[in-house]
Amino acid sequence: MINLEVESSQIPLDLLLEADPSEASISSYLSDSWCFAALDKGQVFGVCVVKPQRFALAEIYNVAVSPSHQGKGIGTKLLEFVLSQLPNKGVKRVELGTGTFGYQLIYYQRLGFRVDAIIKDHFLLNYSAPIFENGIQHKDMLRLYLQLKKTIEQSH
């Protein structure tokens, strides 16, 4: 499995839909984002979509791993790769939004992300269909952030 930056056209929509069930939402951020993929024999099994925001800030909009490959560390290795590449693009802070519970929250916190804010009713107001996980409906969004460390090249 290799991780690299790819063109958005190389990312399968069905994989993006694993993390974001709204095609309209995906199309709103995909075209002007940096796309990273975990590939094996040319096939995309994992994806991370990061959109530059204002100076030195980027937001992760989508991290997904093919269901057949989940639980194997592919997403963690991909996100670690992405976080190592972003300082080379001038990014110092990364933000993202996720549900207030579930495996995604633990996944991001293991990598050092911290809670910044709560957006009440985000999933109720921004998605046409309810989103459930483990029988519980997602309603509020947690905004998380991570301050990136400088790379060796940047410190000289």
Grouping H, G, I as helix, E, B as strand and the rest as coil, residue 148 is: coil
Residue 154, pLDDT score: 45
Using CA atoms, how far apart are residues 31 and 90, in angstroms rounded to an integer? 20
User: pLDDT tens digits, the chain, 156 residues: what are they?
Assistant: 899 999 999 999 999 999 888 899 999 999 899 999 999 998 999 999 999 998 899 999 999 999 999 999 999 999 999 999 999 999 999 999 998 888 888 889 999 999 999 999 988 888 888 888 888 888 998 999 999 986 544 444
Q: Which of 78, 88, 76, 87 is nearest to 112 (CA)?
A: 76
- For residue 2, the surrounding DSSP H or E stretch is strand 2-6
State which amino acid sits at residue 110: R
For domain 2-147, give the fold. Answer: Aminopeptidase (3.40.630)
**Other residues' Cβ atoms within 10 Å of the Cβ of residue 85:** 18
Residue 101, pLDDT score: 84
The gap between the terminal CA atoms of the chain, to the nearest Å, is 32
What is the per-residue DSSP string for 79-118?
HHHHHHHGGGGT--EEEEEEESSSHHHHHHHHTT-EEEEE
Domain extent listing, the chain: 2-147
